[in-house]
Chains A and B, each alone.
Chain A
Amino acid sequence: MGSTGEFGRRDLIKRASALGLIAVPSMSVLSACASGGDSDDNKVDKGTKSEKNPLAVNDSAQLDVVIFDGGFGQQYAKDAEAEYKAAYPKATVKHAATQEIQTQLQPRFNGGTPPDLIDNSGAKQMDLGTLVGKKQLTDLNALLDAPSVDDPSKKVRDTLRPGVVEMGQFEGQETWVLYYAYTVYGVWYSKTNLEKLDAQYPETWDDMLALCEKAKKKGVAGWTYPGKYPYYLPFSLYPFIAKIGGREVLDRIDNLEPNAWKDPAVKAAFEAYYELFKKGYILRGTPGLTHIESQTAWNQGKVLFIPNGSWVENESKQTTPADFKMAVGAPSSLDAKRDKMPFGTLWAAGGEPFIVPKNAKNPQGGMELLRIMLGKKSSQNFIKQVSSLTSLNGGTDGLTLPPGLSASQEALAKAGQNVVNPRIGDWYTALQKEKIGVAALGEMMAGRMTPDETINKIQKFADDTRKDDSVKKYKHK
């Protein structure tokens, strides 16, 4: 022993350990992904079909539920699970709640052992387009054709709000997703704070600008938005575009048609919003705020308007003053005479996408729980707890609604048939959130890009997505 080569033992060890150091981080990143096998024959036996049990649920099988623990919390689901237990006393229900839907569930999908019912929501939801494309979901038409819990003569399908079933379909007749909540998007404000300025919700854009100017003089900003998640801006911007140019403009955008974003309506809407920045009506520091921070500033009366969805009432409950009188407004008219759709045009759509995985052990149980949730009792429980509508049509009868929710109801009633539902976010998550939202709209509203530059940038993003073979494409029927 004791030979001396090119370098000594100490050098060798040193080098080896340095290499080891390097191997560690890249390895952990690499080996984080690993796929498992597929398992097909792991399903529980079906139960016997009866009037009480139209989906033939195995009454002693375990039910495995994962709920997104976000703006709506998880209590509503627990309550519905208690109903399920009451109906099937021998069954056990395994309940889990998380904000990290994707990171927790992706390995289970891969391994072929996903849960029976998932609320696939939040910033870390799994890409629905990919799940459908890879045939990982159960067709929920069986549930939709089952009788409803409240009235056995009606199918579940016929008790839902218009548009909800269609939203869950991608191509063909299968319904892959059932949206449980019904969200009203728009410009949220406080009636109290507007009253302080002697103002009503502005129905035209000129009134909007005038009101912002008036507020600015009093040291109150006109608008804010979650600058770190600028994809909240479309909640009021997209229906604004539809109002100006008609809903076909949004359809062309959803279909990724060439030059869809070059429509004059898009430009008009962008320029109107850009003016808010130019005139200094945006709350200072907005580009650096999260959604919670911007909502809090709004609750504190530092700012009048915020684009948001109806979950905001529950989410900001802790910071909302008692006399806030929260309300939602539809996009103001840019030009009341020439706009293609009337004032009141609104974005409302299903929220909280519930899915039953194809490889679920107990898919009947998952659907049965959904059926219970879509019954009047559970729906009203949800409405009361989290002040949001459910997809069950009506369902609010006999309830005293909190201010934001009753404002949503009024806005929906006013909109009537003029409800739009842009799909770009469900179909192309990355395009909508990160490219259009953060890299384009966020930059424009922070004043770092003009509307023209923004439109060109978005059009390029949309073109890139259209050309990307690895992204599955969908079209309006």
Chain B
Amino acid sequence: MQHGKYRFIVGFLAVPLAIYAVFVISPFVQAIYYSFTDWTGLSSDFKVVGFDNYRKMFEDDIFWKSVGHNVLLLLVLPLVTLGLGLFFAFMLNVGGRRRKNAAVAGVRGSGLYKVVYFFPQVLSIAIVALLFQFAYNPNSGALNSFLKAIGLDSVQPDWLGDPQLALWCVMAVMVWSNVGFYVVLFSAGMSSIPRDFYEAALLDGANRVQTFFRITLPLLWDTVQTGWVYMGIMALDGFAVVQIMTVGPGGPDYSTEVLAYFLYTKAFRDGQAGYATTLGVALLIVTMIFAGVVMKLGRRERLEF
């Protein structure tokens, strides 16, 4: 029965593996090679300079600043986005009480809310970022106009023009545009949890908080973990929002500089493509570390149902 098993597997895997090697692995290897050169990106001649780029990177204040911002994004974004996503999904699916004679249901109007939450997801991130750029405009933007309208004339922040606020403004937009996706994702996950569990819990007199932490969250753990990885990758990127919203290079005084954007300016403005690939390799390593940590921490007993 085992006979020919490997030949069978190899036969199936050879073509996809070859494609993978050519289109995925080889650019990786090439990029790592470029990170040891002084390639400008503007001409095709370059020479190998050893670890010069890496040394430069470690001494580069802006690099460390952008790593710091990425780490902050990595800590805050998934926590807030997934937290909100879980909360909304729970309220939409299980949070309501005794409606239409069903024991377990969402709050009133949950169908509409789902559409509303998901709406930002159908907008391109470029549109979202541009939209918020106008909202953050200190003179005519929606935010300051609102503050003015409610009599807060003295509170008129510069939003994206203020290094203390700029990164938080960017984060708010990233949360806003992503939360809807997780509401839908978690809703789908929750709808596959058998109703009897909830009914049993209700009979036992559990309240919403207990139901959430004892039933919903454990049974949803796999989905949450996937969401965590996915959101983490968003946090490590953050390029589009930073590029569009904080148009000066990486915000005022580098306050929104992230690795991906820093890499972009080095490659496509300063003519230092070699150094930029070095930053790319750094980004790869940070991403790998993040994934490893999440996988390790996230491992849990599986609950079957």
The answer to whether A31 and B28 touch across the interface, beta carbons within 8 angstroms, is yes
Kindly identify which residue among B159, B253, B276, B291 contacts A443, using a CB–CB cutoff of 8 Å.
B253
Residue of B nearest to A22 (CB): B291
Contacts of B42 in A (CB 8 A): 106, 109-110, 126-127, 130-131, 134, 136
Bitwise interface map of B from 163 to 183 toward A, beta carbon under 8 Å scored 1, else 0: 100000000000000000000
Kindly identify which residue among A26, A112, A230 contacts B44, using a CB–CB cutoff of 8 Å.
A112
Number of A-B contacts (CB under 8 A): 190
**Knowing A30-B27, A285-B158 touch, does A110 contact B163 (C-beta < 8 A)?**
no
Question: Smallest distance from the beta carbon of A97 to chain B beta carbons, Å?
Answer: 19
Contacts of A130 in B (CB 8 A): 40, 42, 270-271
Report if A13 contacts B (CB, 8 A).
Answer: no
**Knowing A134-B45, A284-B156 touch, does A29 contact B280 (C-beta < 8 A)?**
yes
Report if A34 contacts B (CB, 8 A).
Answer: yes
The secondary-structure label for the interface of chain A is helix
Question: Smallest distance from the beta carbon of B152 to chain A beta carbons, Å?
Answer: 14
Chain A stretch 214-241: residues in CB contact (< 8 A) with chain B: 227-230
**Distance between Cα atoms of A286 and B139 in the complex (Å):** 8
Chain A stretch 97-129: residues in CB contact (< 8 A) with chain B: 102-103, 106, 109-112, 124, 126-127, 129
Chain A stretch 417-437: residues in CB contact (< 8 A) with chain B: 429-430, 433-434, 437
Chain B stretch 202-247: residues in CB contact (< 8 A) with chain A: 222, 226, 229-230, 233, 236-237, 246-247
The answer to whether A470 and B252 touch across the interface, beta carbons within 8 angstroms, is no
The answer to whether A288 and B159 touch across the interface, beta carbons within 8 angstroms, is yes
The answer to whether B162 and A288 touch across the interface, beta carbons within 8 angstroms, is yes
Residue of B nearest to A460 (CB): B61
**Distance between Cα atoms of A31 and B246 in the complex (Å):** 25
Question: Smallest distance from the beta carbon of A4 to chain B beta carbons, Å?
Answer: 14
Report if B70 contacts A (CB, 8 A).
Answer: no
Chain B stretch 279-295: residues in CB contact (< 8 A) with chain A: 280-281, 283-284, 287-288, 290-291, 295
The answer to whether B158 and A288 touch across the interface, beta carbons within 8 angstroms, is yes
Given contacts A30-B277, A33-B277, A439-B254, 15 further A-B contacts (CB under 8 A): A21-B229, A31-B30, A34-B27, A35-B44, A110-B43, A124-B268, A127-B271, A130-B270, A227-B252, A228-B247, A228-B248, A228-B252, A430-B270, A433-B249, A439-B253
Question: Smallest distance from the beta carbon of B8 to chain A beta carbons, Å?
Answer: 10
The answer to whether A429 and B269 touch across the interface, beta carbons within 8 angstroms, is yes
15 contacts between A and B (CB under 8 A): A22-B291, A26-B283, A26-B284, A30-B280, A30-B284, A31-B28, A33-B34, A35-B44, A38-B43, A106-B41, A126-B271, A130-B271, A133-B40, A227-B252, A286-B138
Residue of A nearest to B138 (CB): A285
The answer to whether B233 and A434 touch across the interface, beta carbons within 8 angstroms, is no
Question: Smallest distance from the beta carbon of A273 to chain B beta carbons, Å?
Answer: 17
The answer to whether B269 and A127 touch across the interface, beta carbons within 8 angstroms, is yes
Which 10 residue pairs across A and B have the least CB separation, nearest first?
A285-B138, A288-B161, A287-B161, A130-B271, A31-B27, A434-B249, A30-B31, A288-B138, A134-B43, A288-B158
Kindly identify which residue among A29, A289, A429, A439 contacts B137, using a CB–CB cutoff of 8 Å.
A289
Report if A442 contacts B (CB, 8 A).
Answer: yes
Question: Smallest distance from the beta carbon of B246 to chain A beta carbons, Å?
Answer: 7
Contacts of A136 in B (CB 8 A): 42-43
**Distance between Cα atoms of A23 and B283 in the complex (Å):** 11
The answer to whether A293 and B139 touch across the interface, beta carbons within 8 angstroms, is yes
Contacts of B92 in A (CB 8 A): none
Question: Smallest distance from the beta carbon of A301 to chain B beta carbons, Å?
Answer: 14
**Distance between Cα atoms of A15 and B299 in the complex (Å):** 11
The answer to whether B161 and A289 touch across the interface, beta carbons within 8 angstroms, is yes
The answer to whether A33 and B31 touch across the interface, beta carbons within 8 angstroms, is yes
The answer to whether B158 and A102 touch across the interface, beta carbons within 8 angstroms, is no
Question: Smallest distance from the beta carbon of A91 to chain B beta carbons, Å?
Answer: 28
**Distance between Cα atoms of A38 and B269 in the complex (Å):** 22
**Distance between Cα atoms of A228 and B250 in the complex (Å):** 10
Q: How many residues of A contact B (CB 8 A)?
A: 65
The answer to whether B163 and A285 touch across the interface, beta carbons within 8 angstroms, is no
**Distance between Cα atoms of A29 and B34 in the complex (Å):** 13
Residue of B nearest to A293 (CB): B137
Report if B73 contacts A (CB, 8 A).
Answer: no
The answer to whether B156 and A285 touch across the interface, beta carbons within 8 angstroms, is yes
**Distance between Cα atoms of A467 and B66 in the complex (Å):** 22
The answer to whether B252 and A110 touch across the interface, beta carbons within 8 angstroms, is no
The answer to whether B44 and A22 touch across the interface, beta carbons within 8 angstroms, is no
Question: Smallest distance from the beta carbon of B62 to chain A beta carbons, Å?
Answer: 9
Question: Smallest distance from the beta carbon of A457 to chain B beta carbons, Å?
Answer: 10
Measuring CB to CB, which residues of chain B are less than 8 angstroms from any residue of chain A?
1, 5, 24, 27-28, 30-31, 34, 38-46, 56, 136-140, 144, 156, 158-163, 222, 226, 229-230, 233, 236-237, 246-250, 252-254, 260, 263, 265, 267-273, 275-277, 280-281, 283-284, 287-288, 290-291, 295
Measuring CB to CB, which residues of chain A are less than 8 angstroms from any residue of chain B?
1, 14-15, 18-19, 21-27, 29-38, 102-103, 106, 109-112, 124, 126-127, 129-131, 133-136, 227-230, 283-290, 293, 297, 429-430, 433-434, 437-439, 442-443, 446, 448, 470
The answer to whether B284 and A434 touch across the interface, beta carbons within 8 angstroms, is no
Contacts of A30 in B (CB 8 A): 27-28, 31, 277, 280-281, 284
Question: Smallest distance from the beta carbon of B10 to chain A beta carbons, Å?
Answer: 16
Contacts of B247 in A (CB 8 A): 228-229, 290
**Distance between Cα atoms of A351 and B56 in the complex (Å):** 33
**Distance between Cα atoms of A470 and B280 in the complex (Å):** 18
Contacts of B163 in A (CB 8 A): 443, 448
Question: Smallest distance from the beta carbon of B297 to chain A beta carbons, Å?
Answer: 13
The answer to whether B41 and A33 touch across the interface, beta carbons within 8 angstroms, is yes
Contacts of A230 in B (CB 8 A): 248
**Distance between Cα atoms of A446 and B287 in the complex (Å):** 36
The answer to whether A110 and B158 touch across the interface, beta carbons within 8 angstroms, is no
Kindly identify which residue among A26, A35, A227, A228 contacts B287, using a CB–CB cutoff of 8 Å.
A26
Residue of B nearest to A433 (CB): B249
Which of B28, B30, B253, B260 has the most CB atoms of chain A within a 10 A radius of its CB?
Answer: B253
Residue of A nearest to B280 (CB): A30
Contacts of A470 in B (CB 8 A): 38, 56, 272, 275
**Distance between Cα atoms of A434 and B140 in the complex (Å):** 26
The answer to whether A36 and B270 touch across the interface, beta carbons within 8 angstroms, is no
**Knowing A19-B291, A103-B268, A228-B248 touch, does A110 contact B41 (C-beta < 8 A)?**
yes
The answer to whether A434 and B248 touch across the interface, beta carbons within 8 angstroms, is yes
**Distance between Cα atoms of A14 and B221 in the complex (Å):** 13
Question: Smallest distance from the beta carbon of B87 to chain A beta carbons, Å?
Answer: 24
The answer to whether A446 and B161 touch across the interface, beta carbons within 8 angstroms, is yes
The answer to whether B27 and A25 touch across the interface, beta carbons within 8 angstroms, is no
The answer to whether A33 and B161 touch across the interface, beta carbons within 8 angstroms, is no
**Distance between Cα atoms of A135 and B260 in the complex (Å):** 29
**Knowing A31-B31, A228-B161 touch, does A134 contact B40 (C-beta < 8 A)?**
yes
**Distance between Cα atoms of A287 and B166 in the complex (Å):** 11
Contacts of B136 in A (CB 8 A): 288
Contacts of A19 in B (CB 8 A): 291
**Distance between Cα atoms of A229 and B140 in the complex (Å):** 18
**Distance between Cα atoms of A438 and B252 in the complex (Å):** 6
The answer to whether B295 and A15 touch across the interface, beta carbons within 8 angstroms, is yes
Contacts of A442 in B (CB 8 A): 248, 252-253
